[in-house]
Structure formats: structure tokens, C-alpha cells
Amino acid sequence: MSDTKILIVEDELLIAKGLSRKLTKLGYTVTDIVSSGDKAIQRASEIQPDLILMDIVIKGDMDGIETAGQINEQLGIPVVYLTAYADDQTLERAEATGSYGYILKPFKDRELHATIKMALRKHQQQTQMQQSLLKNKVSIEDKSRLLSIAAHDIRNPLATIQGSSEILQFYQDKLTEEKKVKHFERIQSAIDNINQMLEDILVLDKAGANKLSFEPIELNVIAFCQNVLEQFQFTTKQHQLTFCSQKECSKTYLDGKLLSHILGNLLSNAIKYSPEGGNVHLEVSGDEQQMIFRVRDQGIGIPPEYQAKLFEQFERANNVGKIPGTGLGLCIVKQAVDLHQGTITVESEVGAGTTFTVVLPVVEVG
């Protein structure tokens, strides 16, 4: 039995009833019978049929062709015309509305069934093509926007590198050792920012092309987290990075590269969005079924209205001010978590800090 819903638009009731019986016999569901264009548009909007069988000559100010044109434009529902005859001019008008076919009166079961099936298949193919084109358009627009943001944001660290390099080059003899070290640290920090930006772009490009894979390996999660934390401690003197583990976690199977993206971006954000410094804390707990990672900071926090779109590309909260960023990091985190079939949640209060909690199921091996 077909689940296809069909609306009949026919001003001759006997013909409409006969057509309805044929359709029911063929396994279709007739949702209604109407006789005018206005009523057809109204009912099509209300019941959203899969297909409309439309007589060309109907009651009211609009004929079937004009009615079908409006339905196609407003609702995108496929229409098959019913007619006893059609001259060339009428056929041209009908084709201009995006016709999905014609059925000549009197109706034959086989012809009726075949025309409906072809119309539905054509509509499905066109819908899939439109979705594919839209997806490609969005992808191209996203990449263009990504490159535009990257080109803009990369100027800041490049300017830092250029400025500090020129100072070191032309005023080296006048600088104290402390100031020289400060400029070298600025250069190193700018290089790290550029590397992180390029890494984010490459990861998102792989994700968009479905090339970001899940490859679990045996990890000592405690040692892994401590190593990541130590790397970040070298990048800041304002923040105190702390770590604690609720359980010794040896021989845990997770994807090391993806976990690095998750923890790296969360810790980087915790430091970045705590401009006054403070404590950044990483906590790990878990059991044989799952691992739980929490990253907590004492930073600027995330406004409640922004939290719903937290993991979308290019999105940044309205309280970040002049803190640099592309709005890509949390999108990468979410994709890495999804590849683990895990979850990520956030608790945050503006001015008081943020805590991200990531739960990753442990892969069973062998």
C-alpha cells in the first residue's frame, strides 16, 4: 500500500469521484477533492500532499495552469495536469509552470499509475539535485568566508612578527636582555597563533570532505593530558594550569589526534578568554565504558543567548571584544567529539568562567 497523498483539483464532481476510486484502487491516498484554484492553493498549503492532479479548466478566476504556477512557486508540490485536449499554446503555458506530466481523459489505470510514478520520481530527483546544489553553494560560501577570515586574522600575528623583528634588527644594541627576550616571546607566540589557525583550517577542510577519520589507539590518558597541559603552560605566564585525575586510566582506547584537537582547542580557549589570567583546570575521570574530560576557567564566560550556537562555524560571542579568534575551534571540537560518538556540554556564567564537559565512550578492542 502506497503512502502517497494526492489532492484532486477537478470541477466535474463525477469525474473527480471516478478518478478518486481509481487512485484508491491503485493504493494511493486521496486527501481531498476541490474545484477551484483558490481552494486548491488553500488545501495544498494545509495538507501538503505529495502530488496534485490538476484539471486545466476549473472554476474561479484562475485556471489550472495559473494555479499550478502559484503552487509550484509557493509550496514546491509537483502537479500533473488532467485534460481532455490541449492546444500548443496551452501546453507551452503548462510547461512554463514546471509541469510533471499530463494525463488525458478518460483515465486508464496503467497510464494513470505510470504518470504518477514518473512525476514523483522526477520531483524526488529534482529535490535531491537542489539540495546538492545548495549544499555545494553553502560549502563554497563557507570556504570563501573561512579564507577571508583567515587572511584578515593572520595579519595581526604577522604584524607582531614584523614589528618585533625590526626592533631586534635595528635597536638590538639599545635593548636590555629582558626586552630582547620579550620580543622573541612575542614572535614565538605569533608563530604559534598562525600555526593554530592553519591547523584549524586544514581540520575543517578534511571534515567538510569527510576525510576526518576515527582511528582509536591505546592511550595512557593521564600521561597524554599532562603532556598537553605542559605544552600550554609554556605559552602563558598569567595563568596557572592545573590537572587532576579521579582514576588511573591505563590502556584506554581513543583517537589520539582527535583528542588532541578536543583538549587543545578547549585549553586554548580557556586561556585566551581569561585575559586577566587565573586558574585553568583540566580534570579527567572515567571507567571501562567512558572517559570524562572537564576544562574549567575563570574567564569572561559565555552569554546565555550565544550558547545555543556555540559549536557553529565562525560564531563568536558578543563579549569577546578585541580578543582575536576565527570562531572555528569549538566547531572542530564538536566534530571530533561526534566522531567518537561522544557528547559535549557547557556551563558558563558571564564574568565567572566556563566549564566544558566532554564524555567519550571507550572503544572495545579485540
Q: Give me the sign of the Cα torsion angle 30, 36, 42, 45.
A: positive
Residue extent(s) of CATH 3.30.565.10 domains in the chain? 217-361
Nearest to 293 by CA among 257, 260, 339: 260
Q: Which residue has the higher pLDDT, 356 or 162?
A: 356
Mean pLDDT estimate for the chain: 83
Q: How far apart are CA 324 and CA 157, in angstroms?
A: 10
Distance CA 157, CA 164 (A): 11
| Position 205 confidence tier, pLDDT thresholds 50, 70, 90 | low
List, in order, residues 6 or more apart from 162 with CB less than 8 Å away. none
- Which one is predicted more confidently, 152 or 284? 284
**pLDDT score of 267:** 93
E-assigned strand segments in the chain: 5-9, 29-34, 51-55, 79-83, 102-104, 217-219, 239-245, 252-254, 278-286, 290-296, 343-349, 353-361
Residue 210 has pLDDT above 60, yes or no: no
> Is pLDDT of 9 > 50?
yes
Q: Does the pLDDT at position 1 exceed 50?
A: no
Average of pLDDT values for 119-132? 83
The pLDDT of residue 141:
67
CATH number (3.30.1130.10, 3.40.50.2300, 3.30.530.20, 3.90.45.10) of 5-128 reads 3.40.50.2300
What is the C-alpha separation between 300 and 272, in angstroms, rounded? 10
What band does 140 get if pLDDT is binned at 50, 70 and 90? low
% residues pLDDT > 70 (the chain): 83
pLDDT at 324: 65
- Residue of 339, 345, 344 lying closest to 363 (CA atoms): 339
Indicate if the pLDDT at residue 343 is higher than 90: yes
C-alpha 3/C-alpha 117 separation (Å) is: 13
Kindly list the distances between the CA atom of residue 198 and the CA atoms of 151, 201, 263, in Å, as whole numbers in the listed order: 11, 5, 17
**Residue 210: all three cell numbers together:** 569527510
pLDDT of 317 higher than 90: no
Cell (9 digits) for 18 = 471516478
- pLDDT tens-digit map of 254-297: 988 889 889 988 998 899 889 888 899 999 998 878 999 999 99
**Higher-pLDDT residue of 245, 130:** 245
Rounded CA gap, 221 and 227, in Å?
10
| Average pLDDT estimate for 215-223 | 88
More confident residue, 232 or 327: 232
CA distance 39 to 33: 10
pLDDT at 245 over 80: yes
In this prediction the pTM is 0.52
User: CATH: 3.40.462.40, 3.10.20.740, 3.30.565.10, 3.30.1540.20. Which one for 217-361?
Assistant: 3.30.565.10
- In sequence order, which residues have a C-beta less than 8 Å from that of residue 210 and are 6 or more positions away? none
pLDDT of 128 strictly over 90: no
pLDDT in tens, 182-202: 888 888 877 876 776 677 667
CATH 3.40.50.2300 intervals, the chain: 5-128
Q: Please give the DSSP secondary-structure letter assigned to residue 298.
A: -
Which among 190, 354, 193, 359 has a CA at the least distance from the CA of 280? Answer: 354
What is the rounded distance in angstroms from the CA atom of residue 134 to the CA atom of residue 132?
Answer: 5
Is the pLDDT at 325 greater than 70? The verdict is: no
Rounded to an integer, the average pLDDT of 188-217 is 71
Q: What is the pLDDT of residues 56-96, one digit of tens each?
A: 888 988 888 899 889 988 898 999 988 876 667 777 777 77
